[in-house]
Amino acid sequence: MRNLTRNVWICLGLIMFPLTTFGQQKSNFTYMPAQELLLVGKATTEGEYFHRVDTAKYCTMPPAVKKLFTNSAGLAISFTTNSPVIKAKWTVPDNYQLPNLTRLAQKGLDLYIKRDGKWQFAGVGMPGGVTTERVIVDNMGTEEKECLLYLPLYDELKSLEIGVSSDAHIHKGENPFKEKIVVYGSSILQGASASRPGMAYPARLSRSSGYNFINLGLSGNGKMEKEVAGMLADIDADAFILDCIPNPSPKEITERAVDFVMTLREKHPDTPIIIIQTLIRETGNFNQKARENVKQQNEAIAEQVEVLRKKGVKNLYFIKEDRFLGTDHEGTIDGTHPNDLGFDRMLKKYKPAISKILKIKFRD
């Protein structure tokens, strides 16, 4: 036990060193509940503040889907401050830490500040236990700063307060992102396995375009159920992107894709709908069955897109797998979920494809 304690202490002490050296706690802080600032990245204003979807309203969705929509993936708090230091105090559940995601991505925070017209990384809120209080960034100037604090990707945020120096102010920010591009999909969309919340791919698309890419990723559960289509159809979306093909079986794709799209089309007669094939999983690099399954998923969705086109569905676009993760097989953490390198490569393919369809300009 003494050894264990010492080990924990050493590990914590060493790897956390940069967090503490420049993150001295100051005595006088004003804390502001996130509810008094602006929440961005949410499809509607309904439901629990930190939930992505009002799961009480859409109570017929599958239980796993409802549970996952309580995760705050893709949500961020917009505020402005002139404080030289920014702190956060937040609470998450006491649950299991996923083995293929950092605790920071699952339960932590990261802050971006706008400089020279670009959103730039400023610091992280490294999660401790259930409730954590942490300096996110310190020793800044006292100029007015536009801030965007990303929330945990794979957990239900229970509360969040943002702290600034008592002699500084903190105000509700504006939504820096226009329109609503609703992205529905799998764990990869939800953020597995980005290293921190702001590195999930819809967040990166938003920051580099100024458009609001809304993260409706559902770990393992982007399976195109009818009830989920109904919920999506209620959103006043400017475009839909369906990046869910990693999750349903080839049979489920064949059975559900047409109904799913037609349900959206009923309430959105002209809205662009983009369907993306699944990335080729590196689990299939040597595992022949895994490789074959992905091939069948991609063939199944290609066939259903053809069916939809033959039915005369307009403004339907299809992005085919195009070595999204590169060719060296190093773009995933576990064969399935991209690491930040894989996401970067994926975005180099997604951006021009989405840009061409939606006439959106992305920064590199």
Site for its own copies in 13-52 (CB under 8 A): 13-19, 21-22
Q: Does 332 bind its own copies (CB under 8 A)?
A: yes
By CB under 8 A, the count of residues binding its own copies is: 81
Q: Which residues, 6+ apart, have CB-to-CB distance to 147 below 8 Å?
A: 77, 78, 79, 80, 81, 86, 111, 112, 113, 114, 122, 173
Contact assessment for residue 138 and residue 85, using Cβ atoms and an 8 Å cutoff: yes
273: DSSP letter: E
Choosing from 38, 168, 262, 290, the residue that interacts with its own copies (CB under 8 A) is: 290
One-letter amino acid at 97 equals: Q
Token pair 């036990």 is found at 1
Q: Does 343 bind its own copies (CB under 8 A)?
A: yes
Contact segment (CB under 8 A) with its own copies among 34-42, 161-169, 217-225, 235-243 equals 217-225
Q: Which two tokens stand for residue 248?
A: 């349903």
Count Cβ atoms below 10 Å from residue 189 Cβ, excluding itself. 28
Q: Does 98 bind its own copies (CB under 8 A)?
A: yes
Choosing from 32, 40, 92, 113, the residue that interacts with its own copies (CB under 8 A) is: 113
Q: Which of residues 183-212 bind its own copies (CB under 8 A)?
A: 187, 192-193, 195-196, 199, 204
Choosing from 48, 133, 138, 238, the residue that interacts with its own copies (CB under 8 A) is: 138
Please say which residue, 13 or 33, places its beta carbon nearer to its own copies.
13
Choosing from 67, 114, 171, 295, the residue that interacts with its own copies (CB under 8 A) is: 67
Burial zone of 134 (CB within 10 Å; 0-12 exposed, 13-18 middle, 19+ buried): buried
| Integer Cα distance of 186 and 244 in angstroms | 5
Choosing from 82, 271, 293, 315, the residue that interacts with its own copies (CB under 8 A) is: 293
Q: Does 104 bind its own copies (CB under 8 A)?
A: yes
Count Cβ atoms below 10 Å from residue 249 Cβ, excluding itself. 13
Q: Which two tokens stand for residue 194?
A: 């980005």
Choosing from 99, 117, 269, 312, the residue that interacts with its own copies (CB under 8 A) is: 99
Q: CB of residue 250 vs its own copies: minimum separation in angstroms?
A: 13
Q: Does 276 bind its own copies (CB under 8 A)?
A: no
Q: CB of residue 266 vs its own copies: minimum separation in angstroms?
A: 29
Token pair 């794979």 is found at 154
Choosing from 169, 311, 329, 361, the residue that interacts with its own copies (CB under 8 A) is: 329
Choosing from 53, 68, 149, 200, the residue that interacts with its own copies (CB under 8 A) is: 68
Strands annotated E in the chain? 29-33, 38-40, 76-81, 86-91, 109-115, 118-125, 131-137, 145-150, 159-165, 170-172, 178-185, 211-217, 239-243, 273-276, 316-319
Q: Does 122 bind its own copies (CB under 8 A)?
A: yes
Choosing from 228, 333, 358, 360, the residue that interacts with its own copies (CB under 8 A) is: 333
Q: Does 91 bind its own copies (CB under 8 A)?
A: no
Sign of the four-CA dihedral 336, 337, 338, 343: positive
Q: Which of residues 144-163 bind its own copies (CB under 8 A)?
A: 154
Please say which residue, 140 or 302, places its beta carbon nearer to its own copies.
140
Q: CB of residue 103 vs its own copies: minimum separation in angstroms?
A: 4
The secondary structure of the chain in percent helix, strand, coil, rounded to multiples of 5, reads: 35, 25, 45
